Structure 1
Amino acid sequence: MVGSNVELSCMHTTEEDFDLNQLYVYWQISVSGTPTTVTYLSENSTVGHGNNQYKDRAQMSLDRMKLGDFSLLLYNITPQDEQDFNCLVIRNFEKIVNTVVTLHVAANYSMPVVSVPPSTPQDEELTFTCTSKDGYPEPKVYWINKTDNSLLDEALQNSTVSLNPRGLYDVVSVLRIRRVPNMNVGCCIENVLLHQNLTVSSQTALASEANASVTEHNTNDTLKNAAHTPPENSRTGLTVLIILGVAAVAVAVMFLWLKGRCPRWNYAAGAQASRPELEQTDHV
């Protein structure tokens, strides 16, 4: 697995004791068809590195080699380490060990993410996009009809696989399919080496879009209602003005009613009525 450590086994089982001063031990890889030494042991019992790529990443144990164990320990595996490693042990100009170990490298893909671009009910075709990244080796991509778990026609999909700066694979797959009621498709990313299938249903993406649409609709309605609804303080002031207006009208009506029922006061008549009459006396 990328980032982990691994031991490449190389054993000599017919003997139990070796004099390292009599041995040459090489671990080699092929670079452009030319053997290149990863690490080695010379007859003076010193270990060196012939490739800077493996400096501080490749190690052999002197104590174990004395017992016939020439295994190589590799640290922090990268995709570039996927190749054949040749273990070669020479004593007295004779090859006593010549073994090839094939190293396969793998990395888990991220869980696929399926997205659905905006569309309208009038659209006859839906477009789904599936993305996954940081996996190794190169993946296989399948689109599945989740109704009956059948594979969809490869002609409906277009997949792009690319290497990222870490040397791992990223994949983007686009599916274009005719719209049908209650559509549910799944995107499957297969890592053949790990016998691993990662599948995500499109229903999750569709449900997320529906929720987002409802939320946006409700938000817009709330904003519209807020724009047409006066604030609480404004409604309270308006109520007070209406009450005062009604009271003023009631007072005016009462005044007019009372005025109609009370007679007018005649100041002149009143003065005459209040003046005492003088008694007339006849004088003979």
Structure 2
Amino acid sequence: MLLIWRAMLLLGCVDCCLSTGQPCVVGVVGGWATLPCVDHHAEDLEMGNGTVEWRSSQGAMVHSSVSGEEPPYSGRAQLLAADRRSGDLSLRLSSITLADAQDYHCYRSTAGQQTAERLCRVCLTAAARYSEPELHRVPVPEGGDAQFSCSSSGGFPEPRVHWLLNSQRPPVDTERTHHTQDPVTGLVSVSSRLTVSVHSTQDISVSCTIENPRLNESRSSSERSYSVQAHGLGVKWVFSAALCVAVAVMVAATLCYQISLDRKSMRKSRTWTEELKGGGSSGSLEEWGGMMVDTELLDSLTETDV
């Protein structure tokens, strides 16, 4: 269905350009368009003495002064001039759809003519207005680049998307735009994403514009301000905090271990001292001297640690 829409519209536009060399009449979907045609021999069209017909390039009867219209143009087409003798045979087509984009032919026939005379060939192309762009910030993982999304829908043909970052155009490689087309209506939705990398925490302003080149029409979002954190700053902060916690734990463990050793040494020193005072004379002189040396060494170590 999508390919059928595109092929039909493209063939209609190409056929018009090759056949008439004139720009197409642009009709807005849901609105109306006037297909102009002037008969320079209107005096031949006496009331009731001639027939005016508008037909599509596919052969459908768009409007006939005798038989009216055929589907899908029933109730949607009428001649602008009430009196055909004025020479104005322009047709007004309402409730425009994308399927209406094609060539239209105006024929005139009078009594006695064997074949109808083609007076005009008019190209009609269709366009649809896009909705107001919606701009918002996209959530990203901690430490990732800032991303912003701009979306709009219900338009035709595919639009151009323009970003402004701090009132300037960002690099092209920071933008990514995606279009989708409704398989039933043929209308287009657009979604564009802008990626911003910064090296320091700062405030930035962002806006986007959706341009419809066929209608020469643009719709812009309001400019919004955001506070953007430098790329990788959150990761560095987490790493630094984890490193500080690890160092603190190691220092605390070392202090606890040292305090435990000091307490054991002090208890051992007191025990030796009490044994010497309570009758440890039966020991040999060498043991006494060694214990004295150990006691003095432990006392000096304890004082040093403290």
TM-score computed with the length of structure 2 as normaliser = 0.55
- 1:266 match: none
Measured after TM superposition, the shift of residue 100 of structure 1 is: 1.3
Amino acid at match of 2:37: C
Query: Is residue 174–residue 195 contact of structure 2 (8 Å, CA) maintained in 1?
Result: no
CA distance in 2 between partners of 1:154 and 1:100 (Å) = 44
Compared with structure 1, are the counterparts of its residues 182 and 134 closer, same or farther at alpha carbon in structure 2 (3 Å cutoff)?
Answer: same
Query: Is residue 174–residue 194 contact of structure 2 (8 Å, CA) maintained in 1?
Result: no
Compared with structure 1, are the counterparts of its residues 24 and 154 closer, same or farther at alpha carbon in structure 2 (3 Å cutoff)?
Answer: farther
Are 2:133 and 1:137 equivalent residues in the alignment?
Answer: no
Q: Tell me which of 128, 140, 144 is aligned to 1:107.
A: 128
- 1:57 match: 76
Aligned residues: 196
Amino acid at match of 1:69: D
Query: Is residue 144–residue 152 contact of structure 1 (8 Å, CA) maintained in 2?
Result: no
Q: Tell me which of 172, 176, 184 is aligned to 2:205.
A: 184
Measured after TM superposition, the shift of residue 131 of structure 1 is: 0.8
CA distance in 2 between partners of 1:28 and 1:9 (Å) = 14
CA distance in 1 between partners of 2:172 and 2:82 (Å) = 58
- 2:105 match: 86
- 5+ residue gaps, structure 2, are 1-27, 228-306
Q: Tell me which of 176, 180, 204 is aligned to 1:161.
A: 180
SS in 1 for 2:209: strand
Measured after TM superposition, the shift of residue 190 of structure 1 is: 0.5
Q: Tell me which of 63, 66, 73 is aligned to 1:39.
A: 63
Measured after TM superposition, the shift of residue 140 of structure 1 is: 1.3
- 1:127 match: 147
Quick check: which has more Rg, 1 or 2? 1
SS in 2 for 1:184: strand
CA distance in 1 between partners of 2:36 and 2:209 (Å) = 35
Compared with structure 1, are the counterparts of its residues 53 and 167 closer, same or farther at alpha carbon in structure 2 (3 Å cutoff)?
Answer: same
Query: Is residue 12–residue 97 contact of structure 1 (8 Å, CA) maintained in 2?
Result: no
SS in 1 for 2:215: coil
- 5+ residue gaps, structure 1, are 208-284
Compared with structure 1, are the counterparts of its residues 160 and 62 closer, same or farther at alpha carbon in structure 2 (3 Å cutoff)?
Answer: closer
CA distance in 2 between partners of 1:93 and 1:154 (Å) = 64
Query: Is residue 174–residue 196 contact of structure 2 (8 Å, CA) maintained in 1?
Result: no
Query: Is residue 143–residue 152 contact of structure 1 (8 Å, CA) maintained in 2?
Result: no
